[in-house]
Amino acid sequence: MSADEAALKTCHERINLSVAASHQAENGPVTTVSSKKSEEATYAYLPPIESTDAHLHEFAEAMRTVGKALQQVAEGKAAAQAEAAEWKRKYESEKAAKAHTHHSVIKGCSNCVKDKLEHLASKLTLETASADETGCCGNHGICSRQILQDQCPGPNRKSDGRIVGRKVPFRLSWGSNGDKNGQHKHDFVSFEKGDITTAERSNKQIFLKWDSPPQTVLFVTKPNSNSVHALCSEMVRWLKEHNNINIFVEPRVSKELLIEDSYFNFIQTWDNDEEMKTLHTKVDLIVTLGGDGTVLWAASLFKGPVPPVVAFSLGSLGFMTPFPSEQYRECLGNVLKRPFAITLRSRLHCHVIRDAAKDEVETGEPILVLNEVTIDRGMSSYLTYLECYCDSSFVTCVQGDGLIISTTSGSTAYSLAAGGSMVHPQVPGILFTPICPHSLSFRPLILPEYVTLRVQVPFNSRGQAWASFDGKGRIQLGPGDALICSVSPWPLPTACLVDSTTDFLRSIHEGLHWNLRKSQALDGPG
């Protein structure tokens, strides 16, 4: 026998001894040794082979690697068995300590520890193919990737081999490109279990209930009307004598009432704009006596939050004035003492940017409008030429008599006369209505409430434009000037006689005689 064959035989014998020792460690008692000692023991069985054959050297190194791997598996199994034994010991001691507790508690604890033991036992196997097939993370406890149905992510195989896909979780965010989370509007949108649905909004009607009886009422009245003045003085007396309410009135009305009778010395008013800015901190309720124009004027007094408005009808139309003045005692009594329905009417937040101001706002305070912003050509004989943008997207160029940007409350005003649609006042949106456009295909739009509109007069415009806010406060816009409009965070809450929808339908039926026609005769051709 040659020297190489003898060396190979010796190598095989020692490898068999190493494998036998590893097998004995897996199935019999294991003596815990350090990794360094186990490596030295492995090399004791496989001393270096003195051979000039390179293949024998490679084969010997491979056998040493196999021996070390088997030794590490045995040590890992021993550590896992020791950890499992420790958990079992803790479980037995806990079970013995809580033997007097309820059976359901013991059962829950048992199940918990069983799951943990199974989790530890799963580490003892080297076969992970089953975990890879199901797409699981390999841990049989809580999966490292959270999912919707408390299962491991990845495809699920049915018994017939078909793969059933699983939805991954997601979140919705509000803001610029999803970067700003904002407030999650769960009252409007639900995205639980991976499905987007519109959430229920109670009975679609908002009610207001006082925590305590209102203490202060502001009266806003239509000017130059004897009937309105007489009703105002009567209502002020009744509120003070029967409900002990503090009364605020406009400076003009205060002078008129004090001239009429010194009895009205208790009424309060404001002397300057700074005091008017703090009205919302003093007034609980607003009472308007007049038409829709009076409601618009009352809203213009508040640049921020607005108290609830009870609007009595003393005008020609009445889209926002549902309460009859003849029944003011009953109506005000209900509003002061009981929950009542309200309509949140959105307002537009507007400001003008001059080209010469280098993107600085012309005025420090924004202009708030309840009905609409109108941009027209004024006295110019040229068509209005406007560039319109919605957020960062170009919308269109307006060539015609002008443009109306309206709230849904203002949909029954100028926008309706220009061909816009009537919209329920609580529908969240902005109306974009052209005035006599020089294009037959230019139809009105309704845009979502969260957008910002920018209307700019281009430098090549042949004429100027004029902007008016709720029919007043006209501002001239020159080439390069822009008007910015968005929905204000402070709506106008108006009290409902019945509810928001009933009041709206009543107003278009009675105010506009909407879809009223003579009935068809019953006697047709025989």
- Structure tokens that stand for 405 in this block: 């940007």
221 Cβ contact partners less than 8 Å away, ≥ 6 residues apart: 228, 229, 232, 249, 250, 253, 288, 289, 290, 294
- Measure the CA–CA gap between 95 and 110, rounded to whole angstroms: 8
Give the closest residue to 51 by CA, choosing from 122, 3, 2, 104: 3
| 384, 375 contact by CB (below 8 A) | yes
* Cβ neighbours, 10 Å, residue 137: 15
Give the closest residue to 216 by CA, choosing from 138, 281, 166: 281
DSSP codes of every residue in 131-169: HHHHT--S-SSS-SS--SSSS-SS-EE-TTSPEEP-PPP
- Measure the CA–CA gap between 149 and 193, rounded to whole angstroms: 8
CA geometry: angle 353, 379, 397, nearest 5 deg: 50
- Measure the CA–CA gap between 189 and 473, rounded to whole angstroms: 39
DSSP codes of every residue in 186-227: TTTEE-GGG--EEPP-TTS-EEE--SS---EEEEEE-SS-HH
- Measure the CA–CA gap between 411 and 69, rounded to whole angstroms: 80
- Measure the CA–CA gap between 345 and 493, rounded to whole angstroms: 6
DSSP 514: T
Longest dimension (CA), the chain: 139
| 274, 240 contact by CB (below 8 A) | no
| 50, 3 contact by CB (below 8 A) | no
- Measure the CA–CA gap between 56 and 504, rounded to whole angstroms: 97
Give the closest residue to 346 by CA, choosing from 405, 268, 265, 279: 405
**b vs e for 221-232, b when ≥16 Cβ sit within 10 Å of the residue's Cβ?**
bbeebeebbebb
- Structure tokens that stand for 466 in this block: 């004029």
Query: How many CA atoms within 13 Å lie on the side-chain side of 118?
Result: 11
Residue 180 one-letter amino acid: K
- Measure the CA–CA gap between 17 and 26, rounded to whole angstroms: 14
Beta bridge partners, 465, equal: 477
Give the closest residue to 302 by CA, choosing from 279, 273, 272: 279
Active site residues: 292
